Structure 1
């Protein structure tokens, strides 16, 4: 039997390289946001660019307990190669904010299973899982709203967002803002809900950035869009 020649780096070689890129100061900064990886994201993206798409290596990296390895796995995987149940399991394993956000944005949104998972996750009792469902819903509100019950979404947001855990609250607020920005017929109600619930009203915002407080966010994005149209 002919000997099989291995091509490309092994998971051990890649994780060793990640360990070499780890920086205690980066870990300290990330810890303030609930993350635990110690590799600068620019260096992580550079490594991913060098590795290119490697689905098998990505799966192996994902199975490690290291967040940097999981982030790298997301960057070098083939999103459409994952099954529905596989993505569901991966989301439940993605317990740090950055891994969770990158998985949803870079993998799940590109998957043919995105809509099925959106529906299932939005109704999930785990608020972290549910937040992924609301993130996908906000995406649909903005890009593919046909078939969505926007009034029903606003009803749910009005009833649940105020007391929702932080990550779920953030995702629901994003959805609220997208409804107000993208759908003029629901804009007044979206702004009214935001004003009454006052979610993220006092969130610290850097100069030049738009506040995540939904009434401010909606008003500013609509203004920019209208100014661009008139220009």
Structure 2
């Protein structure tokens, strides 16, 4: 099974000084930085795009941080090359978005990025059957995508278990309302990549929150070994 990875959702931080805020978060020793890209169409919110990611990447070279980009966009193929050029390491798009899933996966690989496939809460794990062997990660949303600060949906844990059963060695990510109070349930269900916004940024000691979450995932991995 893949290793534990903790990915702070960096859009929970300081928009006014983004590059320095991301650098500051790196001081807390996360594994990835989770970057939410929203187009105002697939979800109602609108956030940053490739030019901002590219500008921050100039300040934080590839060897210093893994940019885990969650593309909440209606036309995921449109943004593959711009995000690759901007310096994204992983491109996670939604199964529910417009376009051919297999072709989008192929395009992401051709542009040198890892492939993530995201599922909204209402989307069943059965949709993965023809794609799971072609992706690097599955993201099981534990809130409806589009806004931070939502309540964690514990009822998504059976879906995480289903995905883990399908792919014992795959990276499985959870995103939405995850914090110290529920990270163990995520890890026990089979998630090894934990995205947390306020669960890290709102902690008194973000580094300690990251360590706690990583320890929970590592314990769950060891218990399943």
Tell me the TM-score normalized by structure 1.
0.31
* Bigger helix fraction: 1
Tell me which structure has the larger Cα radius of gyration.
1
Structure with more of its chain in strand, by fraction: 2
Q: Name the structure, 1 or 2, with higher relative contact order (CA <8 Å, separation 6+).
A: 2
